[in-house]
């Protein structure tokens, strides 16, 4: 039997102002995108902002539907839009701001499994890590160096031959 332990490191910041200005700006854009979320059922609004290598920023917000599987998370809205609008341009980082509607409390929320897998696909395709910036309503930020850290043993194209 072989045992292997998977570990990763995060950086945590108590305040947005403790981050470099470029990352603050990206989180602010994600926060603005969150205001346009359509979340009448869960009341959990999420905004995402993707920074591309060409310095373009693409935003997304969660869009719910009464038929719950039909909605789409903010992260996938932003990442898929970036892929459609700027094909071949690598994603440097993605900022995600999530909290209950009209709430300033709450810790940072990590992307759901579907979003992790979707972001992993882009990270794998571009062969470069995508930095993750996660912020909740309380202003605390968690920074991960790559989505692969949040999705160990990810299902990738290598499984398909």
How far, in Å, CA of 54 to CA of 120, rounded? 20
What token pair was written down for 109? 């929320």
How far, in Å, CA of 78 to CA of 102, rounded? 22
What token pair was written down for 79? 């990442």
From the list 53, 75, 121, 123, the catalytic residue is: 75
Active site residue 53: no
Largest CA distance in the chain: 51
- Contact predicate 56/86, CB 8 Å: yes
Instruction: Quickly tell me which residue has 């470029």 as its tokens.
Output: 22
- Contact predicate 93/133, CB 8 Å: yes
Annotated catalytic residues are 75
């Amino acid at each position: 039997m072989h045992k292997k332990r998977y570990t990763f490191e995060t950086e945590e910041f108590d305040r947005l102002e403790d981050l470099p200005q470029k990352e603050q700006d990206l989180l602010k854009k994600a926060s603005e995108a969150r205001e346009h979320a359509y979340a009448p059922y869960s009341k959990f609004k999420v905004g995402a902002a993707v920074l591309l290598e060409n310095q373009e920023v693409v935003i997304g917000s969660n869009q719910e539907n009464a038929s719950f599987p039909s909605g789409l998370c903010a992260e996938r809205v932003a990442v898929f839009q970036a892929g459609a609008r700027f094909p071949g341009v690598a994603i440097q980082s993605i900022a995600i701001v999530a909290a209950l509607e009209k709430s300033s409390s709450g810790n940072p929320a990590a992307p759901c499994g579907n979003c992790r897998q979707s972001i992993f696909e882009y990270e794998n395709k571009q062969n470069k890590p995508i930095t993750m910036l996660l912020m909740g309503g309380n202003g605390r930020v968690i920074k991960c160096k790559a989505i692969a850290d949040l999705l160990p043993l990810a299902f990738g194209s290598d499984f398909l031959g």
